[in-house]
Amino acid sequence: MVSSPSPVSYPREKISTNLDENLALLKQVFELCFDIVFQRVDLSNECAVLMVYVDGMIEKNAFKSPLFQSWLLEKTGAGVQETINYPNLKEHFAVIGPLRHESRLQEIAESILQSYLAVFVEGEPEAILLETSGWEHRGVEEPSSEVAIRGPKESFTEMLQTNTNLIRRRIRTPKLKLESVVLGELSKTKVAIAYVEGLARPDLVQLVKQRISNIRMDIILESGYIEELIEDKSFSPFPQLLDTERPDIVAANLIEGRVAILTDGTPQALLVPMTFWTAFQAAEDYYERFIYATLIRWTRFILFTISLYLPSLYVAITTFHPQLLPSNFLLSITSAREGVPFPAVIEALLMEFLFEGLREAGVRLPKAVGSAVSIVGALVIGEAAVQAGIVSAPMVIIVSVTGIASFTIPRYNMSIAFRILRFPLLLISGAFGLFGIAMVSIFILIHMVRLESFGVPYLSPIAPFEPKQIKDVLVRAPWWKLRTHKASMIRKPRRR
């Protein structure tokens, strides 16, 4: 087990009024840090300025701008305290960034690492901290994992400020609250908690804040760290937080009363609470006409059932219940399986494992060859396995249809849950037939009924049944029915 590093020790609590002493203190704090730049500027015989920043993390042209240089020259004989109180100070720094002053050495060092420019003036006990973030980052692009034919083509980026701005563009009200916290003893990762005041339940907001404040980690690199640390049941295969890279989905869910968690350094936002039904809702459902959206949603439900149960049903029926099949169909399957050396359950497990391997290879390989390898590999290996008599042609068809059906689920983490459950269902069906499938299904249903996401039942509003909130579950009602409903979806459930 890796032990946590010891906390950073600082030579003193507050900085000195002597510029050379402050330079020595900071060099001691940032020892062996080649990317920390110390730039001293002697403005006159009486006044000198020391600028400290991380190379590549600030906008270098900011402190080299004429406004900044003219301010330094103009205030050569003035103290920092007088400068901060100077009425026209904001005019000099309006093009540079937000300004604050600090005297504690630890706060100054941590601010420098958070892309602040620290300015020390000879004879002054405080440093000026300018927020001038300027590192390279990816721009707003089209979503890669949540593609929609109709609707916005914007996605989140790795910059937290950019992501919050994308939400602000869609919800332009002071009721949209964005509270910031810092997680990670070493990473100091900024995390934003977003909600709409008056729509999100206060107890839900408080619960999210409490769970996030209880996180004790050395480093937070992605929202997945937070998801695993604040979810209700860590050992459940079902996701309990909704992740998305689309700002329009976050905005719509905030209006429904959910709480969003945005993490600096990742384009994935988390939404709580999550229910089972939200995994089958895509952004495009609300941009197309309700008839088409309802039809597509029912198609997803049918394909989800196929992806979970089709291999198990095939194994159970062909092994234990052949009398359920028509005679001609049974004879066709029997003739196709003639010569196959494995029982149906081993055959299904082998093909499922192979299909998962091809899918993983297609994801990990470069885009130029990933899709080609997965498609060609499936065709070549499947055809060769059938001709060699290792597997039967019906099994190849069953596994292929199952894989295609699993791709129709809009949420990738929910499709992973079904892929996990598919294997125990296969084993049970090979041992007990349809009776085993029924028993496992009951256990899964009991688990889902007992599962909660931040106090909201996972199967709500179906279980417990809330008739006023089912207009956007199994169907997508027209907007003239939803407009009085969308803003009150996440309410404290009734306990029966």
Please identify, among 116, 131, 146, the residue that sits at the C-terminal boundary of a domain.
131
Q: pLDDT tens digits, residue range 28-63?
A: 999 888 889 998 877 555 667 788 998 878 776 655
Rounded CA separation 137/119 (Å): 25
- Both 293 and 407 in one domain: the answer is yes
Low-confidence winner among 92-101, 182-191, 307-316 (lowest mean pLDDT): 92-101
Classified as helix, coil or strand, 196 is strand
**Least confident span in 94-108, 165-179, 246-260:** 94-108
Q: Do residues 496 and 457 make contact, with C-beta atoms less than 8 angstroms apart? A: no
Strand-pair partners of 263: 191
CB atoms within 10 A of CB 439: 12
Kindly give, in sequence order, each residue whose CB lies less than 8 Å from that of residue 412, ignoring residues fewer than 6 positions away: 145
**CA 126 to each of CA 19, 29, 40, 72, 229: distance values in angstroms, whole numbers, following the listed order:** 11, 17, 16, 16, 39
Alpha-carbon gap, residue 41 to 93, rounded angstroms: 19
Mean pLDDT of the chain: 83
464 within domain boundaries: no
Do 328 and 442 lie in one domain? The reply is yes
Residue 294 and residue 264 share a domain: no
In Å, how far from its chain's centre is CA 78? 49
Q: CA-based angle 6:8:12, to the nearest 5? A: 140
Residue where a domain stops, chosen among 239, 274, 309: 274
Domain membership flag for residue 55 = yes
Whether 316 and 421 map to the same domain: the answer is: yes
255 touches 486 (CB < 8 A): yes
What is d(CA 435, CA 113) in angstroms, rounded to the nearest whole number? 61
Q: Do 446 and 313 sit in the same domain of this protein?
A: yes
Q: Are residues 72 and 192 in the same domain?
A: no
* Domain contains 199: yes
d(CA 371, CA 364): 10
Give yes or no for residue 83 having a pLDDT over 70.
Answer: no
* Same domain, residue pair 426 and 302: yes
Q: Which of 271, 268, 274, 275 is nearest to 260 (CA)?
A: 271
pLDDT tens, residue by residue, 201-216 = 999 999 999 999 999 9
Residues 247 and 375 in one domain: no
Which two structure tokens, joined as six digits, stand for 210?
């409490």
User: Scanning the structure block, which residue is given the tokens 């941590």?
Assistant: 110
Question: pLDDT category, 341, cuts 50, 70, 90?
Answer: confident
Q: In the numeric block, which tokens belong to residue 281?
A: 């809702």
Pick the range with the lowest mean pLDDT from 133-137, 189-193, 397-401, 423-427. 133-137
Interval 308-334: pLDDT, tens:
999 999 999 999 998 888 888 888 888
d(C-alpha 16, C-alpha 50), whole Å: 13
With residues binned 3-state (H G I as helix, E B as strand, rest as coil), the percentages for the chain, rounded to 5, are 50, 15, 40
Cα 446-449-454 angle, rounded to 5 deg: 140
Q: What whole-number distance in Å separates Cα of residue 407 and Cα of residue 102?
A: 53
Residue 95: which pLDDT band, with cuts at 50, 70 and 90? low
Specify whether 69 is located in the same domain as 204. Answer: no
Shared domain check, 344 and 434:
yes
Last residue of a domain, one of 112, 131, 150: 131
Is residue 256 in some structural domain? yes
pTM over 0.95: no
Q: CA-to-CA distance for 73 and 77, rounded, in angstroms?
A: 9
DSSP strand E in 60-207: where? 99-102, 116-121, 127-131, 176-183, 189-196
- For residue 53, being part of any structural domain is answered with yes
The pLDDT assigned to 176 comes to: 93
Domain co-membership, 322 together with 423: yes
Looking at the structure, tell me whether residues 268 and 305 fall in a common domain.
Answer: no
Residue 81 confidence (pLDDT): 42
In a domain, 138, yes or no: no
Angle at 371 between CA 369 and CA 375, to 5 degrees: 115
State the total domains in the chain. 3
Give CA–CA dist 323/438, Å, rounded.
Answer: 18
- CA 347 to CA 344: how far, in whole Å? 5
Please tell me the predicted confidence (pLDDT) of residue 484. Answer: 55
What's the DSSP call for residue 8? P
| pLDDT beyond 50 at 239 | yes
Residue 393 three-state SS = helix
- Tokens 């060092």 found at: 109
Of the pLDDT bands very low, low, confident and very high (cuts 50, 70, 90), residue 404 is: confident
List residues bridging with 271 in a β-sheet. 242, 260
In a domain, 261, yes or no: yes
CA 237 to the chain's CA centroid: 17
**Which residues constitute the domain of residue 233?**
160-274
Residue 281: inside a domain, yes or no?
A: no
**CA–CA distances in Å: residue 315 to residues 142, 267, 301, 387:** 42, 41, 22, 21
- Tell me the C-alpha distance between 353 and 240, whole Å: 26
Please report the pLDDT score of residue 367 as a whole number. 67
